[in-house]
Structure 1
Amino acid sequence: MEETREISALFHLIDDPDDEVFTTVSDRIISMGTSIIPNLELLWETTPDEAVQERIELLIHRLHYCDLVQDFIRWKKLPEPDLLGGALLVARFQYPDLHVNTVLQDIEKMRRNIWLELNSYLTPLEQTNVLTTILYNYYQLKGGEIAYTEPNDFLLNKVLDTKKGNAMSNGILYLVLSDLLDIPIRAVPIPRQFILAYFDLDNTQWSQLSLNPAEQIQFYIDPMSGQVFTQKDVETYFRRISVPATASFFKPLDNIRIIQMLLEELAKCFETGKNAYKQDELLQLASILGE
């Protein structure tokens, strides 16, 4: 954006000690949209005062965030919001300049490597073993316990970079690849876990899910490692946590709910410190998806 007299005047007031003045200036700058970001970045580079630099960084973040809110609203309104698109929106919260094409290329390479090993004669377990072997052995994907000190572990772009995630981010990668390969694997809302399940359904039958969805699940997958579990293993888990295994725990989660959960979990990484405002923003995005 070309620097006008108004922009110049606003920039001169960014360091004003009066919070009310700064709030007014901020709101006006935000109203100009993301096209003003290059001007703010130039101002940041030529400003020696760290406190003013922090204010500029916050303004740039707020501009990206306003754009992201609109993108989440548009994604939610799609006829079939896709999980990959939602996960990339979450990644953009931390990395607004994310090169989406790089992520898509990495996903496509993974999909192709798995597809080359699949054929129509494989059993469900054999299909899953192909996906798991390539993801966890060939690509060396690792899973760690959820740590709220590591926000990058929740973000798909960083999982692809580092080959390290947690149950949620690894699970989302597994689900994205399953969907691209037409393998009927979905996440199910088993308490205190993020677990995947292989359903005995094809892509035209999801609306015909029985009243007891567990009857249509062949086995379960732990996205931390790709390990497979049986129905008996899951029933043992429910007994151990003293929770009745009702049908609702075996109904597949839709993509909007998965991304909402991801936002809620990522928000826990910003409970304290100078980035605490990010928790409020992430929870606002989660509430937009829940409306």
Structure 2
Amino acid sequence: MEPTKEISALLNLIDDPDEEVFGAVSNRIVGFGRTIIPNLENLWELTPDQQIQERIELIIHRLHYTDLVEDFRQWNLAGHHDLLVGSLLVAKFQFPELITSPVLLEVEKIRRNIWLELNNYLTPLEQVRIITGILYSYHSLKGTEIAYSDINEFLLNKILESKKGNQLSNGILYLILCDLLDIPVKAIGVPRQFVLAYFKQGYNNELSSNQLDKVEFFIDPTSGMVFTHKDIENYFKRISVPLVDSYFKPLNNKMVIQHLLEEASKCFDNEKEYYKKEEMQVIVKLLDE
């Protein structure tokens, strides 16, 4: 059978009431790759039945997801694990047709605004105050509590668009900017929070018995507020968790993206979209390979 005739035959079978038949049909359609998406979109527009439209949407999602998994696999194989690229891949889970150039331009605009204010004579605290002032005051970024009702608050493109993100997504934007500006701010593994730390010059990622001594101060990316060592010690006392050095080891970019995927997946903890939660968890495990 010629491919075009086979595609037409498969599309005609999408409305088959037998779920087993539909499963086989959808698997075969996905096998054609993303080039078949225009055919599916055209069929969706011509289909008045909402249930059939949902089936078509599911197949289109599977096609995009297959490509996304491969993109994550390639990102994982790269040595640097660029945080900006990883964040955009997470955004593409929800917005597969995302055009990344406006996001990249906006990040570059913020980076340049900060860079123009920096110089070699600033203290670490002065550097961070400039970053915070530009990001939260000049660019009006707002922080919210982490909730799992809106996936957009986890996605870089939507944060830049709405000027609103949660502690995790704001923190990742903060990390991206610091990485581009060569400022030693890293995420750390403080329990129940996504906290950033400004590391002293010459720090390394190796865990030692004085990990906390490598940190100048801490940053809450919800608002950019700075915290001292004493503030962090008080927090650990409040949650009754021992102050262990491993909590203050810098998280690498892959760990940050895995954390973002895990947290964002909780937005799909409902019967209708639970498959999306499982798909995000598959990517998390893929990054461990």
Shorter-chain TM-score above 0.5: yes
Distance 1:194 1:207 in 2: 18
Contact 1:260 1:290 in 2 (8 A): no
- TM-score computed with the length of structure 2 as normaliser: 0.97
Give the Å deviation of 1:273. 3.2
Distance change >3 Å, CA 63–CA 19, structure 1 → 2: same
Distance 1:130 1:195 in 2: 18
Contact 1:90 1:263 in 2 (8 A): yes
Deviations 1:109-168 (A, max 9, x none): 000000000000100000000000000000110000011001110001000000000000
What code does the residue aligned with 1:74 have?
Answer: Q
Identify the residue that residue 62 of structure 1 maps to in structure 2. Answer: 62
What code does the residue aligned with 1:252 have?
Answer: P
Q: Any unmatched runs of 5+ in structure 1? A: none
- TM-score computed with the length of structure 1 as normaliser: 0.96
Give the match's secondary structure for 1:165.
Answer: strand
Give the match's secondary structure for 2:218.
Answer: strand
What code does the residue aligned with 1:232 have?
Answer: K
Give the Å deviation of 1:89. 0.5
Contact 1:3 1:39 in 2 (8 A): no
Identify the residue that residue 95 of structure 1 maps to in structure 2. Answer: 95
Q: Which moved more, 1:170-179 or 1:269-278?
A: 269-278
Give the match's secondary structure for 1:206.
Answer: coil
Q: Any unmatched runs of 5+ in structure 2? A: none
What code does the residue aligned with 2:260 have?
Answer: L
Q: 1:110-189 residue pairs with structure 2 within 5 A?
A: 110-189=110-189
Equivalent residues, number: 288
Give the Å deviation of 1:206. 2.8
2:180 is the alignment partner of 1:191:
no
Q: Quote the RMSD (CA, aligned, Å).
A: 1.3
Deviations 1:42-98 (A, max 9, x none): 111111111111100000000000111111111011011011111100000000011
2:33 is the alignment partner of 1:13:
no
Deviations 1:151-204 (A, max 9, x none): 1100010000000000000000000000000110000000000000000125xx
Kindly report structure 1 stretches of 4+ aligned residues shifted beyond 4 Å.
207-210
Contact 2:103 2:157 in 1 (8 A): yes
What code does the residue aligned with 1:212 have?
Answer: N
Give the match's secondary structure for 2:287.
Answer: helix
Give the Å deviation of 1:212. 2.1
Identify the residue that residue 267 of structure 1 maps to in structure 2. Answer: 265
Distance change >3 Å, CA 156–CA 206, structure 1 → 2: same
